[in-house]
Each structure stands twice: as C-alpha cells, then as structure tokens.
Structure 1
Amino acid sequence: MPLVSTGELVGQARAAGHGVAAFNVITLEHAEAIALGAERAGTPAILQISENAVKFHGSRLSAIAAATAAVAHASPARLALHLDHVTDVELLRAAHPEGFSSVMFDASKLAYGENVKATADAVRWGHERGMWIEAELGEVGGKEGEPPLDAHAPGVRTDPAEAAAYVADTGVDALAVAVGSTHAMTERTACLDHELIASLCAAVPVPLVLHGSSGVPDAEIRRAIASGMVKINVGTALNTAFTGEVRAYLTGDPKGVDPRKYLTLAREAMAETTARFQRLLV
C-alpha cells in the first residue's frame, strides 16, 4: 500500500478520540515487526526513524529509510514514515527527498527564544514542502547521552500558557509535551499528570504527543488519550521484546551462530508487542 501521511493518521485519530502509535525503527526487523503488528491489529501506525538510529546506520539516512518504506509499501496496513528527534538541520532537509511526510524537530535543549526561532525556521521549511512538523516543549528526558532526569522535578513539565505561545509563534503541527513520562524506561511505572494533559489540550490547537510511552502502564495510556493525547511514541518496549528473545535463545544455545533463528523470534516478539499497543489505543 502507498505510504499514508503522518498528518492524516494523527488527524483521523484525533477526530475519532483515539490514539495512533508511532513505533521506533532501528533495524529492518523492527520495520517488519511493526507492519505485521499493525496488520494483526487492523489499525494504522507510524514508522519512525530517530536521529540516533540514523547515526547507528553510519549517519546515512537513505538505506534505512528505503528499507522501511519498502516494508510499508508491501504491507496492507496504513503506514506513515516519520523522522524523529531531529536536531541536525541537514538531516531535516534530507527527510523530504527520502519520502518522509513528517519530522519531529527537536530544539528542546535550546533556550526558549532560540527554540522558538529554530523551530519556526524548520516549520517554514517543512510547510513549503507539504511536511507535517512536530516539536517538543518541556523536558521529557531519558534519551541516550542525556543525564538522568526526574520527570517529577519542578520546572520539567510543560506549562500550558507557554505551550500556547510556543505553538502560535512556531506554527508547529503537533506538540510533544512533558507530563510525567521519560524515554528509555524498561519498566511500566510512569505516572502521568492527567490534569496537566487536559490543560495542555485546552490551551493549544494542535495534537499532543506522548514520548516515552514504553514506561507508561496501559490504564495510564488510555486515560491520557481520553485527556487529549493523540500520537503515542513507543520504542523501548520493542527493544525489550527483541533483546529478551535473543538473550533467551543464545542462553539456551550458546553455540548458535545463525542469526535468522533468533531474529525470527525477536521479530515475532516485537510484532506482538506492536499489536498489543495498537489495540490499546482504539
């Protein structure tokens, strides 16, 4: 099936009062598993490749983008291609020729004024090419190379009034907000601030994005969607499923050398994890 745009999937989910999941792609097996999970659940999904994943592939976007797009084209599921957590302007500009319909431009580490300027520039560039642009305000934390962050520390969470001004000044199409989750959590123990989510939803006219959803329990995710969250990002949960199967296989067969045997198990575990999250959001 042809790629669907991220903006279309997010808009449809928002109108229906549902969430739409965006799953991180690192390897070809990730992309195949996400497509298979979406097919099993009968729901659309967003395949997202992060700047860190691009660095893992030698800082070359083309190969992993082409492979991911090929998986999407071969699937009957409605799938979109999104470039996530981009801080490099050159990588942002590489997205459109590679078939991405959307980019999350991440200037959240800059001072507020610099964040607004850089993001507004990215939005102008993207909109000239028909691209949907997401940004982040607040400190979600937990990305590789970042210092530990307490998601409940004062000043970390996104302020609704500031969010309203930020969206107006940048023109972003969606806003990732800090409401109690963090990236790279391997246990699902995050407690979200649902009152804040509702306040943010009322304050800004664009869809809200929950990063770090792997660490958020099912009931918290459902409640977050009811409060106004739309795009739900999932990454670490897939890696946990992947690595668990590989570790178990090699523990049982320490002399095994054929990667197809354990990657088959890992891909299936990720597909089931994908389908479970997919069913949670509708």
Structure 2
Amino acid sequence: MSFVPVSALLREAEREGYAVGAFNCNNMEIVQAIITAAEAEKAPVIMQASQGAIKYAGIEYITAMARVAAASSQVPVALHLDHGTSFEQVIRCVRAGFSSVMFDGSKLPLEQNIAVTRQVTAVARPVGVSVEGELGKISGTEDHIAVSEAEAYFTDPEEARYFVEQTGVDSLAVAIGTAHGRYKGEPKLDFERLSRIRELVRIPIVLHGSSGVPGEAIREAVRRGVRKVNIDTNIREAFVGTVRQILAEDADEIDPRKVLGPAREAAVEVIREKIRLFGCSGKARG
C-alpha cells in the first residue's frame, strides 16, 4: 500500500468521531514499532518525521523506511513532515514523497505565517499532498525550536478562522495548553477555547505535545474535534528506558539486536495504548 494523505485519514476520523495517532520516527526500530502497533490494532496511522529526524537519518532513509513499512502493510499509512519551518524544507519533503506536510509559521507575524502557508498549499495541493498549519505557540522544545512558558500563547479562535480562510489548510494545529517534551506538572487544557476554534474553522484540529496529557483529557479533546494527536516523548521514554534497563542488567552486552529489539517492543506497547485511547482501533480502511 502506498502513502495516503493525512487529509484522507482525517476525513474518515471526522465522520466517525475519533483521532488518528501521529507518531514520530527517528530510526528503523521506531518505524517498525509504529507499523507493528497499527497492524495489531487494525488502525490507520501517521508516521511523521521532524527536522531533527531528517537531519539525523537523512530524508532518503526516512522516506525509504516508511515506504517499505507502508508497502507491506494492510492499514493506511501517511508520511508527514512535522514542524517544517521553511518553504524550502517543505518542498524537499514533497519531492521526496511525503504525503503530508506541516509548515510551522507560528513564530511569525500572522500575515507572514499566512503568506508562507498559502505558498505551501499552492504547491502541495496539486500533487495530492495535504497541508497542516499552526497558529499559536506550544511551549517546550521541538528540535531546538524553543518556546518559553512566558512567550507561549494560546490560539485565538477568530485568528484561527481567518487563518484557515486565507490559507485553505487541511488541518490546524492549535495551542490550548499542551507542551512539547516532558511536563513539569499536569497540563490543563482550555477545552472551551478548543470548542470555539472548532466551531469557527470546521476543519480537523491537531493536538501537539500530547505525550504527558492525561487520558481523560485526550478523550475530551477528541470529543471536541481533535482528529490528529501527536506523540513522540512517550515513545522515546519507553524505547530509551528499555535500553537503559537492559544495559544496567548486563553491561557486557554488545549485540544491538538484544538491546534494540526489546526497546522496539516497548515502543509497540506504548503506541498500541495510544491508538486505543484515540478511539482509532479497528478503523483501518485497507
């Protein structure tokens, strides 16, 4: 099966009221974990690569690994650029075969964010690539793009309406109280703001920084219109935590397969749990 656009997956999610998991991949084992979990849950899935992942593994390797996973899969798979911060990088990913891209212009003035996002949409849409935009800053750090808590601000619903009208994006990432990386306390999401945004924009909403958000808060966000949920930190925690445990138990182990194999299995379990939380199990349209 070839890649499908994220927009196609989110249309199905919108019709049935669930969210699709978007899981960041950095290496072969995590790509395998994502596809194994999606197959086990019979769920559509979004593999996404950030700028950091592309720099680490190379765009050709990321694309090739994801393509192999999708080709052998019985569930729909999208390959998505997460937090692209330049028009040039977005175009590189479109040319490499990504089926979906995100331009993150949230640090730009509103009109500049709109202008570049509109350029991205104009290039991506004719070749069947879906586009995610972002409005409002999400605190934390994403591949060294830092947003302090003082600098972070929530998405304004009226600006969201204007942004979507002007850009024609397929989905919109919003800031309602989540953060990238590990949380220092329990996040408090602004659900009323989310509902107001959803009323005004009428397109699928994306929730970034979701790893540390309590399950019930995720379920409530999905009930209020979130259709794509991004997970990265929880996967890293499970993967690296297992590696540390194995090496602590046997410091002389030198076979990468005996270290990375169990780490991959730990990642599978985390991803399966998230898929079930999002209401996505059994929703594959193969």
Please state which band the TM-score falls in when normalised by the shorter chain: over 0.9
2:126 paired with 1:128: yes
Pairs within 5 Å for 1:38-57: 38-57=38-57
How far apart in 1 are the matches of 2:147 and 2:117?
A: 25
Partner of 1:91: 89
Partner of 1:65: 63
Q: Give yes or no for contact 1:66–1:98 (8 Å, CA) kept in 2.
A: no
2:52 paired with 1:37: no
Q: Give yes or no for contact 1:208–1:229 (8 Å, CA) kept in 2.
A: yes
What SS does the corresponding residue of 2:188 show, helix, strand or coil? coil
How far apart in 2 are the matches of 1:78 and 1:24?
A: 16
- Amino-acid identity (%): 39
How far apart in 1 are the matches of 2:245 and 2:111?
A: 49
How far apart in 2 are the matches of 1:102 and 1:2?
A: 13
Q: Give yes or no for contact 2:51–2:143 (8 Å, CA) kept in 1.
A: no
Counterpart among 187, 190, 197 of residue 190 in structure 1: 187
Q: Give yes or no for contact 2:136–2:153 (8 Å, CA) kept in 1.
A: yes
Pairs within 5 Å for 1:239-254: 239-254=236-251
Q: Give yes or no for contact 1:188–1:217 (8 Å, CA) kept in 2.
A: no
Counterpart among 167, 172, 176 of residue 175 in structure 1: 172
Amino acid at match of 1:268: E
Partner of 1:141: 139
Q: Give yes or no for contact 1:187–1:215 (8 Å, CA) kept in 2.
A: no
Pairs within 5 Å for 1:1-282: 1-57=1-57, 60-142=58-140, 143-147=142-146, 149-150=148-149, 156-185=153-182, 189-282=186-279
> Once the 2 structures are TM-superposed, how far is the Cα of residue 90 of structure 1 from its aligned partner?
2.3
> Once the 2 structures are TM-superposed, how far is the Cα of residue 154 of structure 1 from its aligned partner?
8.4
How far apart in 1 are the matches of 2:183 and 2:35?
A: 23
Of 77-86 and 246-255, deviating more is 77-86
> Once the 2 structures are TM-superposed, how far is the Cα of residue 43 of structure 1 from its aligned partner?
1.1
Of 134-143 and 91-100, deviating more is 91-100
Instruction: Tell me: CA distance 1:188–1:22, structure 2 relative to 1, closer, same or farther (3 Å).
Output: farther
Amino acid at match of 1:106: D
Amino acid at match of 2:252: K
How far apart in 1 are the matches of 2:152 and 2:97?
A: 37
What SS does the corresponding residue of 1:209 show, helix, strand or coil? strand
> Once the 2 structures are TM-superposed, how far is the Cα of residue 78 of structure 1 from its aligned partner?
2.0
Instruction: Tell me: CA distance 1:109–1:213, structure 2 relative to 1, closer, same or farther (3 Å).
Output: same
> Once the 2 structures are TM-superposed, how far is the Cα of residue 186 of structure 1 from its aligned partner?
5.8
What SS does the corresponding residue of 1:109 show, helix, strand or coil? coil
What SS does the corresponding residue of 1:189 show, helix, strand or coil? coil
Gap regions ≥5 residues in structure 2: 280-286
Of 75-84 and 216-225, deviating more is 75-84
TM-score (norm 1): 0.94
Q: Give yes or no for contact 2:177–2:188 (8 Å, CA) kept in 1.
A: yes
Encode CA deviations 1:145-175: one digit per residue, 9 max, x unaligned: 244532xx68700000010001111111110
Partner of 2:284: none
Tell me the C-alpha RMSD between the 2 structures.
Answer: 1.6
What SS does the corresponding residue of 2:81 show, helix, strand or coil? strand
How far apart in 2 are the matches of 1:271 and 1:187?
A: 25
What SS does the corresponding residue of 2:272 show, helix, strand or coil? helix
What SS does the corresponding residue of 1:213 show, helix, strand or coil? coil
TM-score (norm 2): 0.93
Encode CA deviations 1:192-238: one digit per residue, 9 max, x unaligned: 11111111100102110000110111100000000111111111111
> Once the 2 structures are TM-superposed, how far is the Cα of residue 5 of structure 1 from its aligned partner?
2.4
